[in-house]
Amino acid sequence: MPSTPLDREAQRRRANWRWLLEGFWTYFALLWLVIYCLFPLAWMISSSLKPTEDTYVIPPLWIPPHPTLHSYQMTLGIQNFPRYFFNSSVVSISTTLLAMVFAGLAGYGFSRFKFRGSRVLMIFTLITQMFPGILLIIPYFSMMGAAGLLNTYPALVIAYTSFSLPFCVWMLKGFFDSIPAELDQAAMIDGCSRISAFLRVILPLSTPGLVATAIFSFLVAWNEFLFAVVLTSTPSMYLITVGIASNIGQFRIQWNDLMAASVLATLPTIVLYAFLERYLVQGLTAGAVKG
């Protein structure tokens, strides 16, 4: 059926109208998604900027009328939080270094050698990732008690390294797989040993993978709570998560101070996630070697 120009004009207008309406609903839904995602963050920041008398007001004040950094000063100056931040940093950085060494070696081993049991071992590392922490902490607690390592950094670092290893091994194996094995062999023909081929040729090509691994293991350690709360009992050894959680259940909670501590504890994770996102995407899409 031939359509008249008038018909077509009407059709186009209807299509335009539908397009506008669809666009409106899309951005309307997006607006709600943004509010849903960011409101708790905004509430956390708003609360951290209130003086105590503005914190306990009915109805609650959404925007602090008298914004102050007092809670941050309290957190960083008077309470134990600087100590918790220090402990968390020591444990997280040590975990990161250990995990990179162990996962780098294992990822390379799994990528370059097919040996008897290699497949079983790969699946074993995958399965260990699924173990519930609550199951492991009971005997781990007594093992560390027997070794005299309760309230020490190594007890936490060893545990966190093993938590982050499975993911890191699998991720780095994927990165090394994308680098042609001919590169190793060329290096070895030029007189490199296996290990120096790995260290001098393959590692520099896998920087995005190593960065992602490092950030991932750092975040595992920085955010962990169960092992931290069981393995430390003296407040001077608390990690930041335990320090924050220990406020809940107390008779009167200073919510503004606690929110300031939460903001400070969250800042490094948000920055690192922003990096992780970039490297993950880069690593997964481009691969480590081009051309």
Partner 1 sequence: MSPLASTQVAPATFAPRRWRVNPAYAFTLPAISLLALVLLVPLGDVFYLSVHTDGSNGTMEFTGLSNYRQFLDDPMFWNAVRNTAIFTVGSVTLHLLLGMGAALLLNRKIVGRTVFRVIALVPWMFSSVVVAVLWNWMYSPQFGVINDILDRIGIHSAAEIAWLGDLNLALPAVIFANAWRGFPFVMIMVLAGLQTIPREEYEAANVDGASGMAAFRYVTLPHLRFVIGIAVILDSIWTFRYFDLIQVMTHGGPANATEVLVTLVFRNSFEYFKFGYASAIAVVTFFILLGFTLLYVRILLADERR
User: Among 78, 126, 147, 286, which residue sits at the site for partner 1 (rule: CB under 8 A)?
Assistant: 126
Q: How far apart are CA 28 and CA 233, in angstroms?
A: 49
Minimum CB distance to partner 1 smaller for 6 or for 36: 36
Q: How far apart are CA 160 and CA 150, in angstroms?
A: 15
Minimal distance, residue 285 CB to partner 1, in Å: 10
Q: Which of residues 11-40 bind partner 1 (CB under 8 A)?
A: 26-27, 29-30, 33-34, 36-38, 40
Q: Which of residues 135-174 bind partner 1 (CB under 8 A)?
A: 135-143, 158-159, 161-162, 165-166, 169
User: Among 128, 196, 207, 236, which residue sits at the site for partner 1 (rule: CB under 8 A)?
Assistant: 128
Minimal distance, residue 5 CB to partner 1, in Å: 25
- Confirm or reject binding of residue 213 to partner 1 (CB under 8 A): no
- Confirm or reject binding of residue 123 to partner 1 (CB under 8 A): yes
Residue 143 amino acid letter:
M
Q: What are the φ/ψ torsions at residue 92 (nearest 5 degrees)?
A: -70, -40
Please tell me whether residue 214 adopts helix, strand or coil conformation: helix
User: Among 230, 237, 260, 288, which residue sits at the site for partner 1 (rule: CB under 8 A)?
Assistant: 230
Q: How far apart are CA 280 and CA 245, in angstroms?
A: 31
Note whether 51 and 68 are within 8 A (CB): yes
User: Among 10, 15, 69, 181, which residue sits at the site for partner 1 (rule: CB under 8 A)?
Assistant: 181
- Confirm or reject binding of residue 237 to partner 1 (CB under 8 A): no
Q: Which of residues 251-280 bind partner 1 (CB under 8 A)?
A: 255, 258-259, 262, 265-266, 269-270, 273-274, 277
- Confirm or reject binding of residue 209 to partner 1 (CB under 8 A): no
Minimum CB distance to partner 1 smaller for 72 or for 108: 108
Minimum CB distance to partner 1 smaller for 222 or for 279: 222
Q: How far apart are CA 224 and CA 247, in angstroms?
A: 17
Report the 10 Å Cβ neighbour count for 118.
12
Q: How far apart are CA 285 and CA 238, in angstroms?
A: 40
Mark out the alpha helices in 147-254 (DSSP H runs).
153-177, 181-189, 194-197, 203-205, 207-223, 226-231, 240-245
Q: How far apart are CA 147 and CA 12, in angstroms?
A: 78
